[in-house]
Amino acid sequence: MSNGAVHPEPHGHVYGHYAAPKWPDAHCSGKEQYDAMYKESLAAPEKFWGRIAEKFYWKKKWEAPFHSYNFDSRKAPVNVQWFIGAETNLAYNCLDRNVEAGQGDRVAFYWEGNDLGEDSTTTYSQLLAQVCQIANYLKSAGVGRGDDVTIYMPMIPELPAAMLACARIGAVHSVVFAGFSAESLSGRILDSKPRVVLTCSAVKRGAKPISLKGIVDDALVKVTAGGHEVDTVLVYDHTRAATRADVAFTPGRDVWWQDAVSEQPTTCEVEWMGAEDPLFKLYTSGSTGKPKGVEHTLGGYMVGTATTFKYVFDHHLSDVYWCTADCGWITGHSYVAYGPLLNAATQVLFEGVPTHPDAGRAWDIVDKYKVSLLYTAPTAIRSLQSFGPEWVKKYSRASLRILGSVGEPINPEAWLWYHDVVGGGRCPIVDTWWQTETGAHMITPLPGATTLVPGSATLPFFGVEPAVLSEKGEELQGECEGYLVIKRAWPSGMRTLSGDHARFEATYFNLYPGYYFTGDGCRRDKDGYYWLIGRVDDVINVSGHRIGTAEVEGALTQHDRCAEAAVVPMEHPIKGQGIYAFVTLMQGTEYPPPPALKKELVATVREVIGPIATPDVIHWAPGLPKTRSGKIMRRILRKIASKEEDSLGDTSTLADPSVIQTLLALRGK
């Protein structure tokens, strides 16, 4: 597909342009159509989004003006609202609407279990019945409109079904990724205070069994100590080898899912909710403090996720879609649970890891289900690439049509491998830039319309108006590099942070009034293409997952030998970024201490946050480079972590410049 034109890539390499394929039936076919639709979406947003929103079911239509936005927190509180006054229901639009339109027998989920040979199929009618049963159970447990429900489950169909069950009765779900520790889970439960928690007895990730119920039990001990009680824990029996008797049960609180839910009626009245009522909370890491509960509401989120899904994956009913993300992250919310179902898509839900039992598993799944749209993360691509092309070439992959990437910048080498080896040079790659906060794709190619350049997320989606600011907040024009911001509201954006609107404004709007601050650095080239460079705040992107440096530092200092810690990102060949921790031990410790201490510190972080936050390097630091006012100079630590000590820059403001030599002497010790 390369048309031979060349384009300078930011790191100095030169890669080709890849023209969009000529697909006359693409939802957006050609650059002219993209330009026209983009222009209209900015010039006449009411008309543009109104026309799209008409396709959904609204119990009550919106009143004019149907959206409002102000991103200048100095003028008035930032209070974004779309489809004001309208009433709808997400579960109804995902399920009942599709069943009524004759899609009842269509497959919603092909579930593929962790181990080979475990699979199941759920049609739209079956999913509707399943969702109604869970919804009825939740109601019987006292859950109603506006109540929070925490979900801590693996990727089985019951997970998205539980999310939809909450949506059906107007409850607010908070899905916690089932790789988080008891401590992280308890923090999220204490923040949203649900009465009901949904979980699963155990799960196998690769060859390793993990007792999720045990983690929930530990978390709930901490929750009780924190002053909140959970009344009901609904436990899906997924133990396989073990029997129910092996699972610790608290009588009166714990309930077996299969017993309680199967008794419920398979129909359930829909709660009609306001377009701006909350749909879910999802906790994500920021620069400071504990994870923030990002809150999304119904109407705009529905329209935004469905529309991006349709255009970015050029979804047609003949497609089979597979997103490898877990529902514990925003990608699993927007592009497993909601966007695809709103489009009556057929999708694969995979519980396992793509390298189990071997490195051909992902391609085996592609062939088994004839996957045409594949959506994954650069970290997975690099990991599969490292096993060699033979694993891919063993499988046909003839069904693949479009490949998607999300979560972190995709390096051009991984892009080219994805394109040439996985897609056999036939499939456009949609490199989708977005965030938990944005709810849906923001900067992304459209497969039938956008000329691709490896490593660039290309152009904004409809209704998204990006800008690039200098550090001083001046809007840069043309070719430039700076902070990526968004100039106006779009339908699917977050509305607030759970219980803390002031923090919402402080984090995203106060720094550059009038703009939504993304926290990402970017470059815009002469064609107006955006190149995402990475976070400009203290957030590390490990395998596409956000980890706050402050969180890891806080976890390390929970070890009683750790006096202080400073964490910075490091380049990592598979994970994109890794975690590099400088650790100062308690007074009187000899450096380097016995090697076992590193293992203990790593174990502490895994216990406090979860395995995703495992530090890659612990570097002993008898002293940290600090200014005279005591501020850690992370710029210097980043240079040391990346072995660039030759270019440390200005160190004259250090309180004690000798700490640098000491640090360098302890590298690798």
Please report whether residue 409 would count as binding ligand PRX according to CB under 6 A. yes
Q: What is the end-to-end Cα distance of the chain in Å, rounded?
A: 50
> Shortest Cβ distance from residue 241 to ligand PRX (Å)?
34
Q: Which is nearer to ligand PRX, 53 or 151 (CB)?
A: 151
> Shortest Cβ distance from residue 664 to ligand PRX (Å)?
30
> Shortest Cβ distance from residue 533 to ligand PRX (Å)?
8
217 counts as catalytic = no
Q: Which of 83, 124, 433, 483 binds ligand PRX (CB under 6 A)?
A: 433
Q: Which of 152, 434, 508, 530 binds ligand PRX (CB under 6 A)?
A: 434
Q: Nearest-CA neighbor of 135 among 100, 90, 97, 98? A: 90
Please report whether residue 331 would count as binding ligand PRX according to CB under 6 A. yes
Q: Which is nearer to ligand PRX, 201 or 305 (CB)?
A: 305
Please report whether residue 457 would count as binding ligand PRX according to CB under 6 A. yes
Please report whether residue 412 would count as binding ligand PRX according to CB under 6 A. no
> Shortest Cβ distance from residue 516 to ligand PRX (Å)?
12
Please report whether residue 330 would count as binding ligand PRX according to CB under 6 A. yes
Q: What is the dihedral of CA 186, 520, 340, 205, to 10 degrees?
A: -50
Which residues, in sequence order, are CB contacts of 623 under 8 Å at separation 6+? 584, 656, 659, 662, 663
Report in angstroms the alpha-carbon separations of 514 from 39, 59, 297, 521: 21, 34, 22, 18
User: And the tokens for 453?
Assistant: 């350049």
User: And the tokens for 312?
Assistant: 């970015």
Which of 244-252, 308-316, 400-408, 635-643 is the region at the interface with ligand PRX (rule: CB under 6 A)? Answer: 400-408
Please report whether residue 419 would count as binding ligand PRX according to CB under 6 A. no
Q: What is the DSSP string of 574-602?
A: TTEEEEEEEEEEPTT--SS--THHHHHHH
Please report whether residue 406 would count as binding ligand PRX according to CB under 6 A. yes
Q: Which is nearer to ligand PRX, 520 or 538 (CB)?
A: 520
Q: Is 28 helix (H, G, I), strand (E, B) or coil?
A: coil
> Shortest Cβ distance from residue 292 to ligand PRX (Å)?
10
User: And the tokens for 613?
Assistant: 């936050």
Q: Nearest-CA neighbor of 82 among 299, 307, 296? A: 299
Question: b/e string for 581-598 if b means 16 or more Cβ within 10 A?
Answer: bbbbbeeeeeeeeeeebb
> Shortest Cβ distance from residue 127 to ligand PRX (Å)?
25
Q: Which amino acid belongs to residue 204?
A: K
> Shortest Cβ distance from residue 271 to ligand PRX (Å)?
28
User: And the tokens for 629?
Assistant: 């006012």
Which of the residues 501 through 560 are near ligand PRX (CB under 6 A)? 518-520, 532, 535, 541, 546
Q: Which is nearer to ligand PRX, 11 or 74 (CB)?
A: 11
Q: Which of 81, 133, 308, 432 binds ligand PRX (CB under 6 A)?
A: 432
Measured distance CA(181)–CA(167) in Å, rounded: 26
Which of the residues 245 through 304 are near ligand PRX (CB under 6 A)? 284
Q: Nearest-CA neighbor of 517 among 291, 282, 287, 339? A: 287
Sequence-ordered alpha helix ranges (H) in 44-120 = 45-53, 90-91, 97-98
Q: Which is nearer to ligand PRX, 281 or 535 (CB)?
A: 535
Question: Applying CB under 6 A, what is the total number of residues that bind ligand PRX?
Answer: 22
Q: Which amino acid belongs to residue 604?
A: T
Q: Which is nearer to ligand PRX, 274 or 569 (CB)?
A: 569
Q: Which is nearer to ligand PRX, 134 or 532 (CB)?
A: 532
> Shortest Cβ distance from residue 186 to ligand PRX (Å)?
21
Q: Which is nearer to ligand PRX, 109 or 508 (CB)?
A: 508
- Structural element, H or E, at residue 46: helix 45-53
Measured distance CA(539)–CA(345) in Å, rounded: 34
In sequence order, what are the beta bridge partners of 569?
579
Q: Which of 431, 505, 551, 553 binds ligand PRX (CB under 6 A)?
A: 431
Measured distance CA(640)–CA(667) in Å, rounded: 9
Which residues, in sequence order, are CB contacts of 259 under 8 Å at separation 6+? none
- Of the candidates 217, 537, 538, 656, the residue annotated as catalytic is 537
Site residues, ligand PRX (CB under 6 A): 284, 330-331, 405-409, 431-436, 457, 518-520, 532, 535, 541, 546
Question: Known catalytic residues?
Answer: 537
